[in-house]
Amino acid sequence: MAVSKGQNGAQVAQNNLEIFSGWAAAQSHDDFIQIINRGKLNRRDIAAACGFGTSVFSQNKNVRAALKKLEDRLRADGVLPPIAVKATDKESKQYDNSSRKIAKLASHNGNLERENIELKAKVKLLEAKLERFCELNETLAEMGFMQR
């Protein structure tokens, strides 16, 4: 909401607080459920309903406090989900960047094992062919037919 002629910033802030308080009082639990986004009330929807910008929630400390109080009350009533407690630094799991490396190496290892099995099968096939031709070569040598 733009500053009207004859109103200073404090008066606009007070006016926005009154508009927000009136809007919040007029809403039911079902109305609040409709505007929940990520466990909080959707600021854009509230601002549109009240007729001011979303910047009011960050710039007007009274509106910000009233919104927090409203959300706390709605959490107590079970309309909003409870706030998730963040783990402390000691409890949080450290990111293990070696797990990606290990997965890549495991994949590479599987590929190498598959290739090794294929090559062993090929070697056995070629050894069998070589054995057949060695016997043929010996037979020809015994008969006196040597290839040059």
Over residues 88-97, the pLDDT tens digits come to 666 556 666 7
Q: Which long-range contacts (CB under 8 A, 24 or more apart) does 49-55 make?
A: 49/23, 50/16, 50/19, 50/20, 50/23, 51/1, 51/19, 52/1, 52/16, 52/19, 53/1
Q: Is 40 helix (H, G, I), strand (E, B) or coil?
A: strand
Rounded Cα–Cα distance for residues 88 and 130 (Å): 69
Residue 113 has pLDDT above 60, yes or no: yes
What's the full length of the chain, in residues? 148
Closest CA to 47 of 71, 66, 23: 23
- pLDDT above 70: percentage of residues in the chain: 86
Query: Which residues are bridge partners to 41 per DSSP?
Result: 36
Q: What is the mean pLDDT of residues 90-119?
A: 81
Residue 2 has pLDDT above 60, yes or no: no
CA 84 → CA 9, 38, 70, 95, distances in Å?
Answer: 36, 11, 18, 21
Q: What is the mean pLDDT of residues 23-38?
A: 88
> Whole-model pTM?
0.54
Rounded Cα–Cα distance for residues 51 and 53 (Å): 7
